[in-house]
Every structure is written in C-alpha cells, then in structure tokens.
Amino acid sequence: MGKWFWALLKCAMQMCLILLTGYIVAVSPPVKKGLAWLASLPNPDKPWQAILLMGLGCVWHVGLSASAPLMVPDPESFLIKEGILTEPIPTNRTIFSPFNLGITAFTIIFTAAFMAIMHPRPEKTLSMPPERLKVVEKWVPPEKPRQEEVSVADKISWWPGWGVIFGIMAAVYLVWWYSQKGFAGLTLDYVNSMFLFAALLLHWYPAWFVDAALSGDSKVWGIIIQFPLYGGIFGMLKYTALAKTITDAFVAMATAPTYPLLMYWVAGTLNLLRPLGRV
C-alpha cells in the first residue's frame, strides 16, 4: 500500500482538471444558454421527456468522459510503466471501436426509453419543492468595472483578446497534433487541453474565466482526498495475495457450468475494491 499511496498523483491531477475545466465550460455564457434552451424543451408536465433528452449519464464510461480509455493511449501512463499493459492502446480500439459505438447506441436508446416507461404516474410522482431548487449554487459572472475605476491589471484581466489568441493557438496546435497522432493522440491530457482553452475562449473575459474557476475549485476536493486511498487499494491488490485469494476462493467453488457466473462475480468483487473504473 505504501508504495502506491502517492502513485496516482498525475491521474488525480488529470481528474481534477477534467472536472474543473468541464465545469468552467458548462457555466460559460454560451454553453449555459444552450443548456438552458435544451432544458426548456421537455414538457414540465411530462418528466419522461426530460429523461429521454438529458438522462444519458449511463454511458459515461464508454464515451469521452471515460478515463481508462483516455489513459491507455498515453505511453507515459503508469499502466505502461508498471508493465500492466505492454503498449499504448489508441481510442479507435476502445471508445471509437464499432463494438463500443454499438453498445453506446443501444444503451442510450434502450435505457433512456426504459427509464421513461418506468416513470410513475403523476399522482404517484414526488416533486422537489421550488425552495429546494433556489439553494442550488449558480455561478453569476462578475460585472465589468467602470473605465474610471480600472487599473492596468484590471485592463489585462478584462481584455477579451487573450481568449482569442490562446484559443487560435491551441486550435492550430491540436489540429496539427491529431493529424500526426490520429486516435493515439486523444489522451486525458489533450482532452483537458481542449476543455481548458475552450473555457478561456467561451468566457471571453479572463476575469470571468478566473472567477468561474474559483467557483468550481470546491468541486474537486473529493478527488484530491480519494485518489491517494485509491492508489493504496490498487497497491494492495497488485502487490499482495489479496486478489489471488479472492479469485482462488471462487475458483474452488466453481464447476464447469458455474465457472462463467462465478468469474463474473469475481470481477464485480474486485471492481468494488479498485479505484472506481479508472485503473
């Protein structure tokens, strides 16, 4: 456990950035307006419409938010360095494989439709009181200071050209990167890069970008606390006989007909101990 306790610091930082930059993009004025427009489309008296339109979180680990498939294309990943994988695996063999895309399409159609069918009748539906919704934190962009009150530092913070400059530079570089690397170039670091520079561009003013980041930094404390513990758990499974002991116990009970089912349970048991679905 001690060897691995701090082994996932790079991964933890990547997770913090993907959560923080995703939040900053989501609260930016253009994206916020787009999401509000989407949320207004379903009929409030027919909640199943909202489920069909927005209730698609069940595909999180087969899409671009899947951390493991975005980690394995990176030759610097600890999975490569520790010999768990012999070579990087590009995303055309994971996220964008025909098999995965087919499962994703099926999951979206079947699960969303099934959830809509399961929705209770209006007389049996529990609604959230409006006052509960009012306490939900909403980021509000700060007002631009008046010209007579603006210092040199403020002028720099409120100049929208920074987002345009860095956005164009990032776009040119990313186009070149993906033209050279193809699917192998889509890693967590480059997803974070896209979110970071998109957030800076979408907020227009650097001062808005920074203020949104300050609002979102409280969302990442769970990752900071959890990942050292995740590393320790992974180390216990890798460097002790714990995983083998659990597997051997199931194998000893297995027969030829029950072996597939028991191995399914073994995988499920080990997944409860592993760091989420990430390693």
Tell me: the pLDDT tens digits for 147-165?
766 777 878 888 888 888 8
Structure-block tokens of residue 254 = 């297995």
Name the residue among 263, 232, 258 with its Cα closest to residue 248: 263
Higher pLDDT residue, 24 or 111?
Answer: 24
Average model confidence (pLDDT) across the chain: 80
Question: Is position 215 within any domain?
Answer: yes
| Alpha-carbon separation of residue 43 from 46, 51, 151, 250, 272 (angstroms) | 5, 11, 48, 50, 38
Residue-range definition of the domain harbouring residue 184 = 9-122+153-221
Q: How many percent of the chain have pLDDT more than 70?
A: 90
Decide if 239 is inside a domain: no
The first and second tokens of residue 207, run together, are: 């001062």
In a domain, 70, yes or no: yes
Alpha-carbon span 218 to 209, nearest angstrom: 15
Alpha-carbon span 235 to 248, nearest angstrom: 19
Dist CA 61 CA 267 (whole Å): 17
28 lies in some domain: yes
Q: Domain for residue 130, yes or no?
A: no
Q: Does residue 147 belong to any structural domain of this protein?
A: no
Residue 83 region by backbone torsions, left for phi larger than 0, else alpha for psi between -120 and 50, else beta: left
Which phi and psi angles does 216 have, rounded to 5°?
-90, -15
Judge whether 245 lies within some domain.
Answer: no
Q: Is residue 161 part of a domain?
A: yes
Highest-confidence range of 117-121, 214-218, 232-236, by mean pLDDT? Answer: 214-218
Rounded CA-CA distance 137/46 in Å is: 26
Give the residue from 151, 158, 137 showing the smallest Cα distance to 204.
158
pLDDT on residue 24: 92
Question: Which of 80-84, 87-91, 134-138, 272-276 has the least mean pLDDT?
Answer: 272-276
The number of distinct structural domains making up the chain is 1
pLDDT at site 278: 45
Q: Is 235 exposed, middle or buried (0-12, 13-18, 19+ CB in 10 A)?
A: middle
